[in-house]
Structure 1
Amino acid sequence: MIAKNLESLLTMYKEVVEKVDLGIHVIDSTGKTIIYNKKMREIEGMNINDVLDKNLLDVFRFGSADESTLLRALNNGESIQNVKQTYFNNKGQEITTINHTFPIQENGLITGAVEIAKDVTKLEKMIQENIYKKGHAPYTFDQILGQNERLKEAVETSKRAAPTASSVLIIGEAGTGKELFAHSIHNGSSRSAKAFLAQNCAALPDTFMETLLFGTEEQGETEGRPGLLEQADGGTVLLDEIDSLSPSLQMRLQQVIQEKKVRRAGGTKDIPIDVRVLATISEDPIDAIAAGKLRKDLYYRLSVISIFIPPLRERKEDIDELTSFFTEKYNHLFGMKVSSIDKEVKSYFLEYDWPGNIRELEHVIEGAMNLMEHEETLSFGHLPIQFRYKSGSGGRTNDLEKIEGFLYQPGKTILPLDDYIHEAETYYIKKALQHHNFNVTKTAKALGMSRQNLQYRIRKYNIGKSDDS
């Protein structure tokens, strides 16, 4: 009975090891592989027979034996946590993992080592491509549109800041155009002919942000890898969402800006750099400091010059100009000739609060023009359906309110819910079809459903062109 229970338990352990979504690699006291799960085989691109019962160094290539976290755990009794390792399989393919590695002990003796690995090979390649790709800044101050006084003040402050070498903190909600201001500052400076490199600080985990920003000096590498701050030497680095960096990385960045020197991760020497740092934040930096998201010393170092960009809801006098600009932009891209926006849409735009700011306005216009064919006037019915029923409709009696009046009137019996939904859906589909001249493809797109789904409802509700609205 005991043997049977032990066999059952071993089977369950084997199933767990095979199914877990992390690589598991176990070696014995001689360095031979004794456990090598499915996820580890996928990470390393190996068959189990190529690895099982073979010495680790006969299968994988490291810069040196000491670079293998498994062998370090086995030979030195080290517990190694959250360490990045780059090595090669027997086909010469580069593999990068983040490892947790532990020695296995029995009666005080080390009898093996286990490694739990997470694959980051693709992410590491993306980082290196980012590091070695020198960017450029396509925008200038001429492309910042609007007559709002606070906006004009932000532009004037930016123009005065451009020729200096000081750091700049650009403050504004998402979608207000912070990157456009950063590009313009770089292009208005003496650094305009040099690199402009931008990085969103919320896009990657700390382990990779450290490598990306400061570079790395790993064992076995003769030259190491420069980070963004080195790569942009003589130019500008834009760090978007600076409050997303961990406190430790914020402290290192503050030191780099202050000392104008960078030390690579794993390195021992300081490398002089001449780089201007621009940073953005989407909330009031004082609130971010109070919440522990932004270090006070980094804030003071970055905010030598602070630029506040007003949200679109506070500069609605600029909506007409921005709308015209985006309409012309997509006329050019789509080969269209939209020449006007009807009064109902203009009224709606002025009443709406635009939580997504200018970016949202552009997306709405792009979406509307995707629903147009040969029309020259953008009307309310062209606006994306998910946008039409957001709050703040400018007092417009929308189609859902028409449905309510159609189905429920004073003195009229309230319909059962299923009947109400049936009549409301039928009514709305009829109106949408009429608006698009019974073009099923365009109507389906406007309603956010497939053509087949719409055709099914047309048949189900027996809707035809001759139906009364």
Structure 2
Amino acid sequence: MIKIEGFQTILYSLVDVIDSGIHIIDTKGRTIVYNKKMAEIEGMESDEVLGKKIHEIFKFKEETESTLIRALHSGKKTENSKQTYFNNLGQEITTINNTFPIMDQNQRIIGAIEVAKDITNLERLIKDNILNKGDTKYTFDSIIGTSENFLEVIEKSKRSTRTTSSILIVGETGTGKELFAQSIHNGSSRSTHPFISQNCAALPDSLIEGILFGTKKGAFTGSIERPGLFEQAQGGTILLDEINSLNPNLQAKLLRALQERTIRRVGDTKDKKIDVRVIATINEDPIDAIANDHLRKDLYYRLSVVSLFIPPLRERKEDIPLLAQSFIEKFNALFELNIEGISEDVYALFYDYDWPGNVRELEHIIEGAMNLLEPGDTKISPNHLPALFKKKAHLEEAPASKDEDHNKRETQESTLSLDDYIANTEKQYLEKVLKEHGMNISQAAKTLNISRQSLQYRLKKYQVK
């Protein structure tokens, strides 16, 4: 049998590891339990709160009161109640609370307990209008590249501006998917209407439904009438970034909105008609996303009426000089410099590098190099490059002999990760099937039991020619 003192120690330890704020008060409104998560949410130290009354520490808006005090006085529980208040430094805090009175064996109220989830940052985002109209500064003139495979994507994107069909943009992180989305919007008849962008991976599942579709007053305690992003984008375009991060239930609701051209606010019983063009992006192969349950197959077919596959930088290295020069001009203006260009030694490194971060990584490397220039320097040379890039590009390694190079290659092959080994095997099999069909993509796709478009994407991905 655990003694009372030991049980209390266990209880307090348990309360401190819970990933929700826990705040308990006694009959006089004084704090008797205040866990670490609550202190983190409210930006307070426990000794600033323990033993003190709620209203001595926190301030509440005139029309509201502490949900803890309300539970203590009324004896009623409240669930999913939004509360905004201020800590002892005047900092605004917003939480979603579940609050309950504590009863003894005789049903007398002896205190109240609150379990809180922090949504302060989300409220700040909404108030600052970050979730509303995007800054649609990009047009097709902003897109830099002359490689054949890249020009094909640009041309296909321009043709898509004439319609209102959904678009799926496929590309690795840093390839410029939002740049294409904005250019399509600005080149279409919807350009005078809103362009709204939302990263589906940036917000928790419990909140994103209300953000996308809106909320009805009374849907939950503290909820207000708020239009969702679809309503705010009426007549324009909504960009759903990283659509594969959306949970399957929300994907089903999004599919319904696309099919019916209506949305329903959370807590409402009526549908609202919408006229919004949807552009979605995904940073993995759609076929893999479907196989791994990251993307519903029916939603994929609905979104991919137009599919744009943006090639990674390693597949269009001939565009590096144009991109690099544009970034130099950008940072010349920003840093008040007059750098002319990049040395041939640096270009040699750039052409040999694999660019896992794509165009975004190139921009960051140019910016980092321009921060390391000495007065009088007119070109970016290898010694100006950021240390991390030098390490990844093996700039400081001595040239290997043929035997060393062969041994190194064998070692690398024997220590491949499972994903890399599978990728190598898949590439070899694709090459084999293509050769068997005389490089006929349609026949090879039929043998592989995949679509022609999927095969073309994989051939680009693995640089199979």
TM-score by length of 1: 0.71
Instruction: Give how far 1:89 is off.
Output: 7.7
Instruction: Give how far 1:105 is off.
Output: 7.5
Structure 1 SS opposite 2:325: helix
Is the alpha carbon distance of 1:288 and 1:109 closer, same or farther for their aligned partners in structure 2, counting shifts above 3 Å? farther
Name which of 85, 94, 97 aligns with 1:96: 94
Is the alpha carbon distance of 1:15 and 1:230 closer, same or farther for their aligned partners in structure 2, counting shifts above 3 Å? same
Q: Does 1:401 align with 2:398?
A: yes
Q: Does 1:176 align with 2:175?
A: yes
Letter in structure 2 aligned against 1:155: I
Letter in structure 2 aligned against 1:23: G
Cα shift readout 1:109-132 (whole Å, capped 9, x = no counterpart): 797764321222232232343367
Residue pair 2:24, 2:34 contacting (<8 A) in 1 also? no
Is the alpha carbon distance of 1:88 and 1:270 closer, same or farther for their aligned partners in structure 2, counting shifts above 3 Å? farther
Is the alpha carbon distance of 1:386 and 1:94 closer, same or farther for their aligned partners in structure 2, counting shifts above 3 Å? closer
Cα shift readout 1:351-405 (whole Å, capped 9, x = no counterpart): 11111111111111111111112211211111111101214x5xxxx43539x99
Instruction: Give how far 1:151 is off.
Output: 0.8
Structure 1 SS opposite 2:165: coil
Equivalent residue for 1:297?
A: 298
Instruction: Give how far 1:22 is off.
Output: 3.8
Is the alpha carbon distance of 1:204 and 1:273 closer, same or farther for their aligned partners in structure 2, counting shifts above 3 Å? same
Instruction: Give how far 1:316 is off.
Output: 1.1
Equivalent residue for 2:187?
A: 188
Query: Any residues of structure 2 matched to 1:120-131 within 5 Å, and which?
Result: 120-130=119-129
Counterpart CA distance in 1 for 2:14 and 2:223 is 41
Is the alpha carbon distance of 1:247 and 1:109 closer, same or farther for their aligned partners in structure 2, counting shifts above 3 Å? farther
Cα shift readout 1:248-287 (whole Å, capped 9, x = no counterpart): 1111111112212111112222122211111100111111
Q: How many residues align?
A: 388
Counterpart CA distance in 2 for 1:364 and 1:164 is 38
Name which of 76, 82, 85 aligns with 1:85: 82
Structure 2 SS opposite 1:300: helix
Instruction: Give how far 1:74 is off.
Output: 5.9
* Structure 1 range deviating more: 90-99 or 355-364: 90-99
Counterpart CA distance in 2 for 1:200 and 1:329 is 26
Structure 2 SS opposite 1:234: coil
Equivalent residue for 2:378?
A: 376
Instruction: Give how far 1:343 is off.
Output: 1.4
Is the alpha carbon distance of 1:147 and 1:41 closer, same or farther for their aligned partners in structure 2, counting shifts above 3 Å? closer
Cα shift readout 1:67-120 (whole Å, capped 9, x = no counterpart): 99968x9657x9x6xx36335689999753234567868779797764321222
Is the alpha carbon distance of 1:240 and 1:69 closer, same or farther for their aligned partners in structure 2, counting shifts above 3 Å? farther
Instruction: Give how far 1:6 is off.
Output: 3.0
Is the alpha carbon distance of 1:222 and 1:353 closer, same or farther for their aligned partners in structure 2, counting shifts above 3 Å? closer
Structure 1 SS opposite 2:197: strand
Counterpart CA distance in 2 for 1:69 and 1:368 is 59
Is the alpha carbon distance of 1:222 and 1:348 closer, same or farther for their aligned partners in structure 2, counting shifts above 3 Å? closer
Name which of 49, 53, 56 aligns with 1:50: 53
Is the alpha carbon distance of 1:14 and 1:292 closer, same or farther for their aligned partners in structure 2, counting shifts above 3 Å? closer
Is the alpha carbon distance of 1:318 and 1:223 closer, same or farther for their aligned partners in structure 2, counting shifts above 3 Å? same
Letter in structure 1 aligned against 2:263: V
5+ unaligned residues in a row in structure 2: which ranges?
Answer: 402-465
Is the alpha carbon distance of 1:64 and 1:235 closer, same or farther for their aligned partners in structure 2, counting shifts above 3 Å? farther
Equivalent residue for 2:161?
A: 162
Structure 1 SS opposite 2:95: strand
Residue pair 2:213, 2:227 contacting (<8 A) in 1 also? yes
Residue pair 2:153, 2:308 contacting (<8 A) in 1 also? yes
Is the alpha carbon distance of 1:101 and 1:187 closer, same or farther for their aligned partners in structure 2, counting shifts above 3 Å? same
Q: Does 1:270 align with 2:259?
A: no
* Structure 1 range deviating more: 303-312 or 319-328: 319-328
Query: Any residues of structure 2 matched to 1:172-251 within 5 Å, and which?
Result: 172-219=171-218, 224-251=225-252
Is the alpha carbon distance of 1:192 and 1:399 closer, same or farther for their aligned partners in structure 2, counting shifts above 3 Å? same
Is the alpha carbon distance of 1:65 and 1:50 closer, same or farther for their aligned partners in structure 2, counting shifts above 3 Å? closer
Counterpart CA distance in 2 for 1:272 and 1:31 is 52
Residue pair 2:170, 2:284 contacting (<8 A) in 1 also? yes
Is the alpha carbon distance of 1:94 and 1:168 closer, same or farther for their aligned partners in structure 2, counting shifts above 3 Å? same
Is the alpha carbon distance of 1:221 and 1:119 closer, same or farther for their aligned partners in structure 2, counting shifts above 3 Å? closer
Is the alpha carbon distance of 1:115 and 1:168 closer, same or farther for their aligned partners in structure 2, counting shifts above 3 Å? same
Residue pair 1:250, 1:295 contacting (<8 A) in 2 also? yes
Letter in structure 2 aligned against 1:303: S
Structure 1 SS opposite 2:53: helix
Q: Does 1:119 align with 2:118?
A: yes
Residue pair 1:86, 1:94 contacting (<8 A) in 2 also? no
* Structure 1 range deviating more: 264-273 or 85-94: 85-94
Counterpart CA distance in 2 for 1:222 and 1:133 is 19
Equivalent residue for 1:353?
A: 354
Is the alpha carbon distance of 1:231 and 1:18 closer, same or farther for their aligned partners in structure 2, counting shifts above 3 Å? same
Q: Does 1:365 align with 2:363?
A: no
Is the alpha carbon distance of 1:380 and 1:177 closer, same or farther for their aligned partners in structure 2, counting shifts above 3 Å? same
Equivalent residue for 1:135?
A: 134
Percent sequence identity over aligned pairs: 51
Counterpart CA distance in 2 for 1:241 and 1:300 is 16
Q: Does 1:24 align with 2:22?
A: yes
Equivalent residue for 1:462?
A: none
Is the alpha carbon distance of 1:299 and 1:12 closer, same or farther for their aligned partners in structure 2, counting shifts above 3 Å? closer
Equivalent residue for 1:153?
A: 152
Counterpart CA distance in 1 for 2:291 and 2:28 is 51
5+ unaligned residues in a row in structure 1: which ranges?
Answer: 53-58, 406-469
Moved over 6 A (4+): 18-21, 30-34, 59-69, 89-94, 102-113, 220-223
Counterpart CA distance in 2 for 1:69 and 1:229 is 36
C-alpha RMSD over aligned residues: 4.0
* Structure 1 range deviating more: 129-138 or 42-51: 42-51
